[in-house]
Structure 1
């Protein structure tokens, strides 16, 4: 490819990559860039998790050249032991990439993404012919930009206590979700029926926002002290991460308040996920404190919503749960249909004890 043609196009892709503040959209942009500049049969993105020095991986997204779009795996994350992928063991042990490894009739290039010296994902590119050195340099360069930019985002977007997304990143994450919804609806109107059929399973379901509040948290701090209160918040964040999917968004909104953005789920499944999380919290034996319960209010997200509107609706459902026994999940739309709640002034700072 001519250099004069390549440079502006590469700069365009880098500009598009660094304008994202949402890690999922950022990863999509990286895969789009790799597809544009390297001829591949497929690109696989694997997430990496660790527990007690053991690594686990999960396939997060995949691109195949005979398919028109990148497929994301929206199911609850299923991490498998790293032992099932010997090639990845070598990569993580040496924290280095592997190029042109021959597996069957395919050549693989695998590059780990490290953030703060911790592996978080692996990009695997494959095709039936060897990769040229110039191609390897290109995707190493693109992934280096991605890694450095992701490190900056992680440092600025995480709550220091729980390592969940912090409140200031919520508006950006919510706006990204609305943009994605709007973009899909626009493309759906232009797409052919066969393409819609292929995409409907992934995108036709609804999105939900849940506000989560720890019951009697002030009492925990008063009785046991803030040190144990902080430990409850940290352990709760761990339970949240194990209860929801990679593509859901988890935020600490302040104090004992948390927000969950659930993507591409029908009403019944969204309720089940939130109820399972509530039950996990209730069943957990918190050190010194014992049983801790939570109340949850949730509502549907539509493309015309603003953050204050949707939080206000979930907030009303949360208040209903608090006023009617706590330790429960309530949906705003159901309560409104029954005449149990009416739209009120939006509560931007929830203080429920």
Structure 2
């Protein structure tokens, strides 16, 4: 059986935060006489919070890991549907739920994170057949402490220093480790299905490649705003734009700041109309917000569907062309690159854009 030292090495070997929850679950299952580990994170959309079980693992080897980008939000349980989880989250303390008598099976609920950062709320459930002793609870606390330290370290390297949003490095990592790999697998599955021989009357089924979308957002006339208001006012505007984005998009959408006035969003969505609606909500929220000492500030956005042949740069080139079109046609608009191409408003040739550093 692996030792606690070996599991700590595995936790600290990671360079991908998305794998930490599963590694934490495996460590606890291996080290302790427990039956099941569930890690549940809080996700929200338009102010509604729900539970998403990111990782589940049991002592017999069964389990699952969920991609937050691809969840059905409305099918998830509401945050107060699970009273013990909710109490643990609110108190930031352990909750022991003995559901069949004091000496029988129970679930220990522990806060996944020690602080109260709203973007990182979660609970870890430890299912056991009997009450765990102080030494066993101490071992859980030690492993969880290492997990938190490693998560915060990786989060720091993935975040923009000013706004706390994800940075360009994080976008590149997600592209190459998850999105393109999944798109390529979907395309290959579809190709195999199309090549297969189908008997008369037999229905052909194949996997539809996932629908990933990337959009960029530029604050309109940011240079003028910065020149007039100064550096501190400009920074405050960027912080407020980040807050509006966090309040508008789903918590499992990936929101980035690349530098200067440029932001981005990576999301999974079934069709173009829903993506357009999400960016339009953000544009409208920006337009109606009263920025202190500045007043009205608007933003222009452009988005594109990601293909298996894309790199982060090629997808961003298309979104930047759509943003440029919006800003050359009156600002405060959202355009789909694919829609602009279909309408013949410009061709499909790439344009290399620059990213400012603020």
- TM-score when normalising by structure 1: 0.76
Q: Deviations over 1:162-188 (max 9, x none)?
A: 111223333223323335525864997
Which of 340, 346, 352 is residue 352 of structure 2 equivalent to?
Answer: 346
**Residues 306 and 315 of structure 2 are in contact (CA less than 8 Å); yes or no, is this contact kept in structure 1?**
yes
Secondary structure of the corresponding residue to residue 331 of structure 2: coil
Aligned-residue offset at 1:281: 0.6
Aligned match of 2:164: 163
1:246 and 2:251 are equivalent in the alignment: yes
**Residues 314 and 350 of structure 2 are in contact (CA less than 8 Å); yes or no, is this contact kept in structure 1?**
no
Aligned match of 2:52: 60
Which of 281, 286, 306 is residue 276 of structure 1 equivalent to?
Answer: 281
Aligned match of 1:125: 125
Quick one: distance in 2 between partners of 1:122 and 1:247?
13
Quick one: distance in 1 between partners of 2:72 and 2:187?
25
Aligned-residue offset at 1:294: 0.6
Aligned match of 1:108: 107
**Residues 250 and 260 of structure 1 are in contact (CA less than 8 Å); yes or no, is this contact kept in structure 2?**
yes
Quick one: distance in 2 between partners of 1:187 and 1:31?
32
Quick one: distance in 1 between partners of 2:271 and 2:24?
29
Q: Identify the range of structure 1 (258-267 vs 101-110) with the bigger mean alpha-carbon deviation.
A: 101-110
1:147 and 2:139 are equivalent in the alignment: no
**Residues 40 and 123 of structure 2 are in contact (CA less than 8 Å); yes or no, is this contact kept in structure 1?**
yes
Stretches of structure 1 that go unaligned for 5 or more consecutive residues are 50-55, 190-199
Aligned match of 2:195: none
Stretches of structure 2 that go unaligned for 5 or more consecutive residues are 191-206
Aligned-residue offset at 1:270: 1.4
Aligned match of 1:97: 94
**Residues 299 and 331 of structure 2 are in contact (CA less than 8 Å); yes or no, is this contact kept in structure 1?**
yes
Aligned-residue offset at 1:40: 3.6
- TM-score when normalising by structure 2: 0.75
Q: Deviations over 1:218-249 (max 9, x none)?
A: 12112222222211111110011111122211
1:281/1:172 Cα in 2 relative to 1: closer, same or farther (>3 Å)? same
Q: Deviations over 1:90-122 (max 9, x none)?
A: 6654x44344x2246861111213366758333
1:271/1:338 Cα in 2 relative to 1: closer, same or farther (>3 Å)? same
Q: Identify the range of structure 1 (338-347 vs 279-288) with the bigger mean alpha-carbon deviation.
A: 338-347
Q: Work out which of the two has the higher radius of gyration on C-alpha atoms and give 1 or 2.
A: 2
Secondary structure of the corresponding residue to residue 69 of structure 1: strand
Q: Deviations over 1:257-286 (max 9, x none)?
A: 011111244222111111111111111111
Quick one: distance in 2 between partners of 1:67 and 1:271?
39
Q: Give the number of aligned pairs.
A: 325
Quick one: distance in 2 between partners of 1:205 and 1:266?
10
Secondary structure of the corresponding residue to residue 177 of structure 1: helix
Aligned match of 1:194: none
Aligned-residue offset at 1:123: 2.6
Aligned-residue offset at 1:325: 1.6
Aligned-residue offset at 1:301: 1.3
Aligned-residue offset at 1:41: 5.0
Aligned-residue offset at 1:32: 5.5
Which of 43, 51, 70 is residue 38 of structure 2 equivalent to?
Answer: 43
* Root-mean-square deviation over aligned CA pairs: 3.8
Aligned match of 2:20: 26
Which of 316, 327, 340 is residue 322 of structure 1 equivalent to?
Answer: 327
Q: Identify the range of structure 1 (248-257 vs 179-188) with the bigger mean alpha-carbon deviation.
A: 179-188
Compare the two structures and name the one with the higher strand fraction. 1
**Residues 249 and 278 of structure 2 are in contact (CA less than 8 Å); yes or no, is this contact kept in structure 1?**
yes
Aligned match of 2:218: 213
Quick one: distance in 1 between partners of 2:340 and 2:187?
32
Quick one: distance in 1 between partners of 2:23 and 2:188?
18
